[in-house]
Amino acid sequence: SKGKNTEAVAREVRYKFLQEKLKEINGDLIATGHTASDLLETVLLNLVKGAGVKGLRGFLPKRDRIVRPLFEVTREEVEAYVKEKGLPFVIDSSNLSTEYERNLLRLKVVPVLKEINPSVETAILRTTEILRDVEEFLELSVEPLLRESLKEGKFCIPLTEFKKLHDALKKELITRAYKTLTGESLSYENVSSVISLLRKEGYKKVELGKGFIACRDQRELCIQKKEEGEVKPFYFVVRELPA
């Protein structure tokens, strides 16, 4: 993993292999073994690190060509079925190590939550379903504005139109615009800094990363490449003063 997060690197390698195998056999879908217990852990991880709607709803039952048929089944139910049917299985020894964040949650935190609510996975499933609906509503609401405001590799929207939006839609629009332009997610702090531009006067800008800035003038709020919005310094030499 060369110093990177081992779990994240392993995930990349695993999905790369699956995508290559899918192409090799000309398959239709990749079915993974993620359960409701995995979803609970993912939501908790995202919660403690700070996340928006997308992070708190966790992974999806279907995304592109990846399906999760055990999405609503708990890990305990899978283990009970396997033992009942006498099916062979292997336990990854790394699952027992609390060096990894997910395992720490699984071994130390989830048991405490189950003392409060033995059906905590079911409760999280209901919550994430609600959040998926919220996410879809936000996306559908900003989609027309996004199409209208994205042109020639930058995003610009009239201030009068942007200010009329609910704060939730403003944040979603900024997040989606940056994601469309760069392919990267925008941090909560950066989204807040863009919103703060509305309270200022004249030309103002903030750095967003990936060579992009958000800037506002008297008419528009824009997200664009840094060089497009920069006022480049210049000078000239006065050789003669007029009489």
* Backbone torsions φ then ψ of 73, nearest 5 degrees: -110, 135
pLDDT score at 234: 54
C-alpha distance from residue 184 to each of 56, 177, 191, 194, 221 (Å):
18, 10, 13, 16, 20
pLDDT score at 122: 96
* Backbone torsions φ then ψ of 195, nearest 5 degrees: -60, -35
Band of the pLDDT at 233, cuts 50, 70, 90? Answer: low
pLDDT score at 77: 97
Start-to-end CA span in the chain (Å): 72
What is the CA angle 136-124-92, rounded to 5? 110
The pairing of beta strand 220-225 with beta strand 66-67: unpaired
For range 188-199, the mean pLDDT: 93
Q: Name the packing angle between helices 120-149 and 36-49 (round to 10°).
A: 60
Distance CA 182, CA 39 (A): 28
Q: Which two tokens stand for residue 38?
A: 């995995």
User: What's the whole-model pTM score?
Assistant: 0.80
The answer to whether the CB of 36 falls within 8 A of the CB of 74 is yes
For range 120-128, the mean pLDDT: 96
